[in-house]
Amino acid sequence: MRIVTTARELGDFRGGVLVPTMGALHAGHLALVSAARAEAARRGGGKPVVVSVFVNPTQFNDPKDLDRYPRTLDADSAGCERAGADIVFAPSPDEVYPPGQLFPTPALPAVAAGPGLEDASRPGHFAGVCQVVERLFELVRPAAAIFGEKDWQQLKVIEAMARDLRPDLSIIAHPTAREPDGLAMSSRNVFLTPADRSRARALWRGLAAARDRSTPMAAEAAMREVLEREGIAIEYAVVRDAWTLLGPVEGCASRALVAARLGTVRLIDNAEWRGDR
Ligand code: AMP
């Protein structure tokens, strides 16, 4: 496996499977890398697996969050190698956004503005995400890219963007990897105090409680009850149409989605919601 920092060095590694990340990789990320390895094998012809590690400044609306984002390239590279990557692409901000050039944000898909979801507390976040992901697609030129269901709204935004701009590119979704107690793995979990780490289990417990309720309203109430019992500050706890992220539609796939703050840490999670069906 090689580590490269410039697009020029990617020469022979185009046309493969890309796993875009911001580093600080955990077992959830590495599951995506293993899935990329399997996808590359399925496609045949020795397709390469490329993991990008880039903490994208344009998607952070809180400079403190950007400053303290964990950066662990040595450990990340070792993990990527174990999981079967061929190359780690770890560019500098100037490599991704060369000074003096403009990188317009692609038109944002409607699902980016799903009311009361990520955009409400992180305005501009998806503009930065679409900008960097499209830029990575341009530099790496993959045939397929893998994204985690953990960031459900992001997955739907990228699927919609790629459908418009890169119809030949396959976007592959990968299920959320969880700690044994159900907490979704996240690079931000390391910032939880021991007490908040314990309370954080309520996100998954809330999603599990929602599963047992037959109407969206009851499911949302169940999530709120579990989170509030732990004194957790809820940003949203909702059931939405899984694709449009608007209100759930009878007979269409639905998703329960939650975002909450524990101390200085913001956590998100989601799960399929089936209601009566
Ligand atoms: P990030 O580095 O947080 O931007 O995440 C990079 C990719 O890994 C995104 O596609 C995330 O959705 C995915 N990811 C992060 N955490 C998990 C997890 N626990 N399970 C599955 N995928 C994940």
Report the share of the chain in percent with pLDDT over 90: 86
* pLDDT tens sequence across 124-179: 999 999 999 999 999 999 999 999 999 999 999 999 999 999 999 999 999 999 99
pLDDT at 142: 97
Considering the candidates 26, 29, 125, 174, report the single residue annotated as catalytic: 29
Ligand 1 within 6 A of CB of 153: no
Does the active-site annotation cover 125?
no
pLDDT at 30: 98
Closest C-alpha to 88, from 130, 30, 138, 144? 30
Ligand 1 within 6 A of CB of 56: no
State in Å: Cα 12 to ligand 1 middle: 26
Closest C-alpha to 147, from 83, 55, 51? 51
Coil, helix or strand at residue 180: coil
Mean pLDDT calculated for residue range 229-238: 97
Q: Is the pLDDT of residue 2 over 80?
A: yes
DSSP 38: H
Of ligand 1's listed atoms, the one at least distance from the Cα of 22 is 2
